[in-house]
């Protein structure tokens, strides 16, 4: 669970400041993309990417908060980071393909910067001791390697024979 400014546990991801800011970004992106004409194939594609990226800012927070494993939370954080960065970069594509209202993107940039600061605190709240070893080596807590011995491997288990009557 994430802690808010008063160190109270928050159980519903929708109550998290980062989730609320992600929702705000989604709403603004939706309003701006409504200005994109539907009859332009390229601009319509970019509109879809923008909406998808904006949606990730809440969906992945909710998914990460639904579990407790460090590697799953870090994977969600990585997708969020990519989506937030892509959201800002879409301005260049829209401008290149003739979208006239790119001045509204400063609003998105400002909101993403606010989100970034909340993101830093959110990731810092992840429990690094609640993990399984990521054998791919990307999302292990500091000091844990992909080839480290997993202490769970030392627990004897004979499969389902242990459950026979």
pLDDT value of residue 2: 47
Q: What span, in angstroms and rounded, lies between the C-alpha atoms of 141 and 128?
A: 5
Number of domains within the chain: 1
User: What is the domain range of residue 78?
Assistant: 2-163
Mean pLDDT by 10 residues, the chain (165 residues): 50 94 98 92 94 98 95 96 96 89 91 98 95 92 91 73 58
pLDDT for 7: 47
Name the burial class of residue 114, with classes exposed (0-12), middle (13-18) and buried (19+) by CB atoms within 10 angstroms of its CB. Answer: middle
Q: Determine the pLDDT at residue 152.
A: 77
pTM of the complete model: 0.83
The secondary element (H helix, E strand) that includes residue 13 is: none
Contact partners, residue 112, CB within 8 Å, separation at least 6:
25, 84, 87, 88
The CATH number assigned to the domain holding 64 equals 1.20.1440.60
């Amino acid at each position: 669970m994430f802690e808010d400014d008063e160190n109270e546990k928050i159980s519903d991801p929708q109550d998290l400041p980062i989730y609320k800011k992600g929702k705000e970004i989604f709403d603004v992106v939706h309003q701006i993309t409504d200005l994109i004409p539907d009859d332009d194939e390229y601009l319509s594609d970019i509109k879809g990417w923008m909406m998808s990226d904006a949606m990730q800012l809440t969906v992945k927070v909710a998914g990460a908060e639904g579990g407790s494993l460090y590697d799953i939370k870090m994977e969600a954080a990585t997708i969020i980071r990519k989506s937030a960065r892509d959201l800002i970069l879409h301005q260049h594509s829209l401008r290149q393909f003739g979208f006239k209202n790119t001045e509204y993107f400063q609003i998105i940039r400002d909101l993403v910067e606010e989100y970034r600061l909340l993101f830093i605190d959110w990731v810092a709240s992840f429990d690094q001791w609640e993990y399984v070893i990521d054998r791919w080596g990307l999302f292990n807590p500091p000091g844990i390697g992909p080839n480290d011995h997993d202490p769970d491997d030392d627990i004897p288990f004979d499969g389902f024979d242990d459950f026979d009557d």
